[in-house]
Amino acid sequence: MSCQRAGRTLRPAAAQTARRLPGETAMNRRHLLGLAAAGLALPARAQTAFPDRPIRFIVPFPPGGGTDTWARIAAEGMQPELGQTIVIENRGGAGGLVGTEAAAKAPPDGYTLLFTITTHVQTPVVMRRFPYDPVADFAPIGRLGTTSISFCVGPKVPPEIRTWPEFAAWAKGRDLSLGSYAPGSTGHAFALLVAEEARLTMEHVSYRGETPMLQDMLAGQIHGGFHSMAAAGEMLRAGRLRALMTAGERRIPALGEVPLMKEVGFSDRFSFSGFSGLLAPARTPAAVLDRLTEAFRIAAAKPETHRRLLAVDTVPSYQDPATFRAQVARNLREWTEIAERLNLTVDG
């Protein structure tokens, strides 16, 4: 806007600067004025426009596993709130390190996010390798839910074995192969602890996610291991796998007859609880984080989200960013203690 003084017009500073540039035509000066105005307005438009293109969730495990399932439930709940498509990019490898490192190094603009689970803090601890800081390199957006994992066996175990005591008696003196969905994960540690407390001989086999582990179990390549209902529920309901006991503090509703591990004599070390949730790279602008956080909060509270989580025996348990950050930091401390006590290390 121009202002009047002593009968003449005083142009804004940008206009005066443009007028003094040598060799510029009137058309060029108008172009420069337009660019200056656009530059002044850009920050406000950028904030109000977010998001103006699709958003990407990096899932650090292959498709079909529990993490992938939870990420898709969250994404489908957030899309209507953001007005943009959310694309799932499965980037597995190194127990989640590959995808997580990629997310940590992504531009902090809100368009590349990480949907992950407790391996976020577990894998770097047991690999003694920290390509990212699980707390400092990320801005939590929210926790979606919690779930317990169950000890499952497949066709490599005789079909008449339906309970843990039966399995323990059969397994004595045998060389067992137990899998885990990621090196250094809860499933990995629990497999080692089961062998230790039950005095069983076990070879641990690590996988790059629940789907390849399920495939090998169904093919009779390994005896068993720990699975989430999000990944293994369909196979359990079909009778292709058998759940013998469940970790955590309460029984899984769909497996009401399957006892807790502490009910069959195992220690309280199997009560460790983890998380599934959404994070952004650190230094993402506050206004963008606020937009994402609100969309996630609304999505997590939707009845359809609750229905879909409960259908895969996941307890809806939203946490806001501050509470979620505190849990990530607490789980990092807890897992460091567990890994040191078990001398839990993984090469790779």
Same domain, residue pair 239 and 288: no
pLDDT (tens digit per residue) in 94-114: 889 999 999 999 999 999 999
Lowest mean pLDDT among 30-44, 143-157, 217-231: 30-44
Whether 74 maps to a domain, the answer reads yes
pLDDT category at 13 given cuts 50, 70, 90 is: very low
Average pLDDT over residues 319-328: 97
Same domain, residue pair 103 and 183: no
Average pLDDT over residues 296-320: 94
Asked if the model's pLDDT at residue 37 lies above 60, the reply is no
Count: domains in the chain: 2
Report whether 283 contacts 120 (CB < 8 A): no
- Can you give the CATH number for the domain in which 106 is found? 3.40.190.150
CA distance 299 to 16: 51
Same domain, residue pair 266 and 188: yes
Same domain, residue pair 171 and 261: yes
Same domain, residue pair 155 and 246: yes
One-character DSSP codes across 24-87: --HHHHHHHHHHHHHHHHHHHHHHHH--SS-EEEEESS-TTSHHHHHHHHHHHHHHHHHTS-EE
Same domain, residue pair 74 and 210: no
Which residue among 248, 271, 294 closes a domain? Answer: 271
In 3-state terms, what secondary structure has residue 274? coil
Q: Which residue has the higher pLDDT, 194 or 254?
A: 194
Asked if the model's pLDDT at residue 313 lies above 90, the reply is no
Same domain, residue pair 127 and 67: yes
Average pLDDT over residues 295-306: 98
Count CA within 13 A, CB hemisphere, residue 326: 4
Same domain, residue pair 118 and 153: no
| CA distances, 54 to each of 37, 49, 63, 78, 104 (Å) | 28, 12, 20, 12, 19
- Can you give the CATH number for the domain in which 167 is found? 3.40.190.10
Which residue among 221, 243, 271 closes a domain? Answer: 271
Same domain, residue pair 155 and 133: no
Same domain, residue pair 160 and 262: yes
Whether 131 maps to a domain, the answer reads yes
Same domain, residue pair 153 and 227: yes
Lowest mean pLDDT among 17-31, 71-85, 256-270, 312-326: 17-31
Asked if the model's pLDDT at residue 16 lies above 50, the reply is no
Domain of 261? Answer: 149-271
Q: Which residue has the higher pLDDT, 149 or 182?
A: 149
Name, in order, each residue with C-beta under 8 angstroms of 127's C-beta and a sequence gap of 6 or more.
94, 95, 97, 183, 184, 345, 346, 347, 348
The pTM of the full predicted model, rounded to 2 decimals, is 0.75
Which residue among 217, 249, 271 closes a domain? Answer: 271
Report whether 212 contacts 68 (CB < 8 A): no
Average pLDDT over residues 300-324: 94
